[in-house]
Amino acid sequence: MKTKDESFKHNAAKDTLIYFLKKRPELIDIKEILRIGVEEQFAMCGIIWFICDITIYDETGIIKLIEVDNKHSVDEEKLEKMNIYFNVHGYYPELIEIKSDAILQNTGIPEKLYFKKLNYKTKKP
C-alpha cells in the first residue's frame, strides 16, 4: 500500500516485505499468518494514537507489529503511545523493526531476514 507521505523506498520495502511474509512467515518467527494489515490506525476515543507500517494477525488477533526503518528508527513518542494503547487494551503484540535495505537487498525470498525487537512496554502509568 502506498502512502503519499512516505518515500518510494519505504513503500517498496513494505510491499516487498509483505510479499516475503506471505510466502515465508517463518522469516519473522511465526508459523502462519491469518491477515496482514498495512498502515493500520490504532485509535482511542476517536483519536489516532499511532499508525503501524505492518500489522500481523493470527486467529487470536494481533501478534506482531512491524515498522520498516528507512531513515530513522521508531521514536520514543511513538513507543510511548504504543505502550499506553496496549496498556489500556491489556495485550502486548511483539514489535519489530526491519531496515528497508535489509529487505530490498534480496533478489528473491531470503532464507533469513534480520530484524530488531523493540521494547515499548513499561509499567502502567
User: CA–CA distance from 39 to each of 50, 109, 110, 122 (Å)?
Assistant: 10, 23, 24, 24
Q: Which three cell numbers stand for residue 84?
A: 499506553
- pTM of the predicted protein model: 0.89
Burial of 9 (0-12, 13-18, 19+ CB in 10 A): middle
Task: List per-block mean pLDDT (blocks of 10 residues) for the chain, which spans 125 residues.
Answer: 72 96 94 95 95 95 95 91 92 94 94 90 59
Domain map (residue ranges) of the chain: 8-112
Tell me the CATH architecture of domain 8-112.
Answer: 3-Layer(aba) Sandwich (3.40)
Q: What are phi and psi of 62, to 5 degrees?
A: -75, 130
